[in-house]
């Protein structure tokens, strides 16, 4: 399942898309949040919805 690797560096879920990326966006986001004592997670229902949750410590 792709969602297991979504925060890995250089990972792209779908290589057939017209718009290409480096596969770094979510891994950089996760690292920036980690060093600021925050977390990001994802849950998905394939072909229906994907929800990203960001938690900040107060």
In a domain, 16, yes or no: no
In a domain, 30, yes or no: yes
In a domain, 53, yes or no: yes
Given a cut of 80, whether residue 11 has pLDDT beyond it is no
Burial class (CB in 10 A: 0-12, 13-18, 19+), 57: exposed
Q: Which residue has the higher pLDDT, 23 or 52?
A: 52
Torsion region of 23: left, alpha or beta (phi above 0 gives left; psi -120 to 50 gives alpha): left
In a domain, 36, yes or no: yes
User: pTM score, two decimals?
Assistant: 0.72
Range of the domain at 39: 1-11+22-57
Give me the mean pLDDT over the 4-16 stretch: 75
pLDDT tier at 53 (50, 70, 90 boundaries)?
very high
Q: What are the b/e assignments for 16-30, b being 16+ CB within 10 Å?
A: eeeeeeebeebbeeb
In a domain, 28, yes or no: yes
Cα distance between residue 28 and residue 52, in whole Å? 15
Cα distance between residue 45 and residue 51, in whole Å? 9
């Amino acid at each position: 399942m792709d969602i297991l690797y979504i925060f890995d560096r250089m990972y792209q879920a779908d290589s057939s898309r017209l718009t290409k990326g480096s596969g770094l966006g979510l891994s950089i986001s996760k690292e920036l949040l980690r060093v600021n004592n925050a977390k990001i997670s994802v849950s998905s229902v394939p072909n229906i919805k994907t929800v990203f949750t960001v938690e900040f410590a107060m």
